[in-house]
Structure 1
Amino acid sequence: MRLDQTDRGLAAAAPVGAFDSLDYVTVMIGDQTLGLPIGRVHDVFITNRITLVPRAPSEIVGLLNLRGRVVTAICLRRRLGRPATARQDREGKTELVAVGIDHEGEAYALIVDAVGEVMRLDQSTFETTPVHLDRNWAALTTGVHRLDDRLLVILDVDAILRLDLQAAA
């Protein structure tokens, strides 16, 4: 894994790999651990400089500049149907933890509560999305891994980034 410095000095970029990899970058939304396929993750960083976009869907937090590139920031909490929260540093500025992803030639930042570890899991622990999982969440997942002490919900990055921008306009 390559380490880079960005915005506030915290960043890690994952090597691009196969999308069906069983290696995941874990993120937290509330107390739920979620997995992003490591092949889709390019950066992990903290930012406090977001430009709001008027009349954008509520999931779009705004735009940010990441090493000279304009990045659309999407609140994963809101995308999953949870209320947004703000984290503030000692000076009262809002800090956002983000995972950088490229999708169809565009750069996105998924705003999350926290970033965890990189996990390599065996195919045998992967299961289809449980029928009792919230419908909003189920539409944005590819399945789950049953771990010893918790369930790791694997996110479908393409589904998360498929925002209905026409309806919002």
Structure 2
Amino acid sequence: MSLTKLEQQEMRQITAMLSSRIELNKDLPEMVFRDSGLEFYFFERPLLSNVDVLDDLLCSSFKVFSTRAFALFSAPLANICYLFDGENIQKGVEELSVGFRDFFKGTVNYPVIMGNVSFDWLLFESAYEEYGVLALDSQQASNEFSEFLSCNLISSPVFQSLKGHDKALDKIIAAFHTYFERI
């Protein structure tokens, strides 16, 4: 099956569980993640346009954590939520990417929140920032998944090291640094 659009009740359950992990009334560059002990990784948005990276991210997540993953749009209004079941991930990612090109015919908006259903990792992408953030629970982090993220996304130390190369990027990094202490 690969990708399933959730019914309203299931979507509300995910949104309710998410509210203990993410402050849905905030937006980047503010700290949107509630938990401590997180590793942060940054990426240029929109991630849904980078099908290869998203496919690899979800494949790695299924391999390491063995749990389903979700993509939630327009939180906290939560218009649409999709669930990846681990089967034919590439097809599901392509379907999601195609739908997102026109915001599912104008029915969804930012933010985009993705993660696995056990919340080992959560990804937050805003309409207002050039970069999105993936937060990984350090206690649940496996070396394999952390290595994947370090190779495919921008780790906090690398993100900070980009400062000084471009004035616009410097402003972005400074804004995130204000809220994300570990950068």
TM-score when normalising by structure 2: 0.25
Higher relative CO (Cα under 8 Å, sequence separation at least 6) belongs to 2
TM-score when normalising by structure 1: 0.27
Decide which structure has greater helix share. Answer: 2
Decide which structure has greater strand share. Answer: 1
